[in-house]
Amino acid sequence: MEFAAAATEKHEIVIIGGGICGLATALALHRKGLKSIVLERSETLRAVGGGIGLLPNAWRALDQLGVGSRLRSMAVLLQGGRDISLDENKERKIEHVIGESRCVKRSDLITVLADELPIGTIRLGSEVVSIDLDSVTEMSRLLLTSGSYIDAEIVIGCEGGRSKVAELLGLKAPRAFDIGVFRGLTTYPNAHSMPHEFRRTTKGKIGVGMLPITQHLINWFVALPTHLLSGDKFPHDPKHIKQMTLELIKDFPSSIQETIELSDLDSLSTAHLRYRAPWDLLLGTMRKGTVTVAGDAMHVMGPFLGQGGAAGLEDAVVLGRCLDMAMSGIEGNNKKEKIAKIEAGLDQYVKERRMRVLGLSTLTYLIGIIVGSTSPIVKMVVGLAIAILFRDRAFHVQYDCGKL
């Protein structure tokens, strides 16, 4: 396909999606002296989900991006965790993660990443309608809802599980777990009394997780199999979300009910958990020409390991490093040589990330089956598979994505 006219704009690197991974990728490139623009369809930078738990591997990536210190001042250090079963009236400590663990507000993470970018990098209200690859110029043409065009030498899709870039690459659409989640934040003006630890309380098929962010702020979620929901399965109105959540946890301790009751309405959200199948990650095409994907667009996964956002941060560091190495070796105006080196850099990025996210996605997929299944036999078989395949259960937090 050939394009008839010159694009309204031309850019070397275009990132689609202004979420955590998109902004982190732009920042990684900026740190290496590579200019990019970020196209975000929303009129504001959004941070759906309330809080995000960040384990040691995530902090290694944030430090490489140069924002770790600032974020540390916004969240308390977590000291392990606790599992509480109301059915069995039992309580056990969750094995403490060796290293730094904190939960931060997603909006804080988004803001900190955005603040470090040059003015004009982020373009709000810029939704991409279509992406075409020109076999002659080897450029990508993006059509926006405004009717304008952008030609780009490199396109990085960071626009989540329903990514147009992933679709262009031929990646299969994400699948749905049989699990729904309700999420929110609760502010305590006079401070809360929750210890600095992750608490997971279960009763029947319903689980409630709580993590303190600061002395005044708690991040919480309620997870359950979707078959337990009825009527409007995933409400979007905040008042309806709170009402349904309180109904779901009516048999939980009053302290948990109080936290949900006091939650900040504008922080509430619901989601049907989705994942990209491990076999699709193993066999799927992650690069076509100078187009690739990162973050959820590549490897949307369940939240059971707390690694979805962290993996996106790792992607950003590795992608920034690989593109810098590729483009620093480009000399002169030889277009074909430049494209070949960029493609080689993207191939190196895909090679480094594929097996890492395959391991994360496989484990979250197996845990998702256990959480969503009603069959004791299925739970037992999958639990055995996890024990065999993942003897080192801390592999995901020990990982180091390396220097930017």
Lowest mean pLDDT among 134-143, 164-173, 321-330: 134-143
Reduce the DSSP state of residue 224 to 3 states and report it. Answer: strand
For the cut 60, the answer to whether the pLDDT of residue 5 exceeds it is no
Is 131 in the same domain as 167?
Answer: yes
Q: Are 361 and 368 in contact (CB under 8 A)?
A: no
**The pLDDT of residue 115:** 97
**The pLDDT of residue 167:** 95
Mean pLDDT, rounded, for 392-403: 88
Is 147 in the same domain as 238?
Answer: no
For the cut 70, the answer to whether the pLDDT of residue 230 exceeds it is no
For the cut 80, the answer to whether the pLDDT of residue 75 exceeds it is yes
**The pLDDT of residue 97:** 62
pLDDT top residue among 217 and 205: 217
251 vs 87: CA distance, rounded Å = 11
For the cut 90, the answer to whether the pLDDT of residue 151 exceeds it is yes
Structural domains in the chain (count):
2
User: What Cα–Cα distance (Å) separates residue 115 from each residue in 69, 160, 273?
Assistant: 14, 22, 30
CB atoms within 10 A of CB 380: 11
Mean pLDDT, rounded, for 147-174: 94
DSSP of 120-162? TSEEET--EEEEEE-TTT--EEEEETTS-EEEEEEEEE-S-TT
Is 376 in the same domain as 313?
Answer: yes
Average pLDDT, the chain: 91
User: Residue 135 — pLDDT band, cuts 50, 70, 90?
Assistant: confident
**The pLDDT of residue 96:** 56
**The pLDDT of residue 138:** 79
Is 257 in the same domain as 324?
Answer: no
Is 250 in the same domain as 132?
Answer: no
The CATH code of the domain that includes 19 is 3.50.50.60
297 vs 2: CA distance, rounded Å = 27
Is 45 in the same domain as 23?
Answer: yes
310 vs 307: CA distance, rounded Å = 5
Asked if the structure places residue 290 within a domain, the reply is yes
Lowest mean pLDDT among 20-34, 120-134, 283-297, 379-393: 379-393
**The pLDDT of residue 231:** 60
User: Residue 389 — pLDDT band, cuts 50, 70, 90?
Assistant: confident
Is 27 in the same domain as 160?
Answer: yes
Is 194 in the same domain as 123?
Answer: no
192-216, pLDDT tens digit by residue? 999 999 999 999 989 999 999 999 9
273 vs 222: CA distance, rounded Å = 12
Mean pLDDT, rounded, for 264-276: 93
Mean pLDDT, rounded, for 112-119: 97
Residues 54, 270, 86, 218: what is their CA dihedral angle, to the nearest 10 degrees? 50
Lowest mean pLDDT among 207-221, 351-365, 376-390: 376-390
Asked if the structure places residue 289 within a domain, the reply is yes
Residues 6+ apart with CB under 8 A from 66: 27, 31, 116
Is 186 in the same domain as 154?
Answer: no
User: Residue 3 — pLDDT band, cuts 50, 70, 90?
Assistant: very low
**The pLDDT of residue 133:** 87
**The pLDDT of residue 217:** 97
Lowest mean pLDDT among 54-63, 246-255, 334-343: 334-343
Mean pLDDT, rounded, for 108-115: 97
CB atoms within 10 A of CB 393: 12
**Backbone dihedral region for residue 332 (phi beyond 0: left; psi -120 to 50: alpha; all else: beta):** left
Q: Are 198 and 206 in contact (CB under 8 A)?
A: no
290 vs 304: CA distance, rounded Å = 33
In the numeric block, the tokens 């109301």 are attached to 86
**The pLDDT of residue 95:** 64
The CATH code of the domain that includes 207 is 3.30.9.30
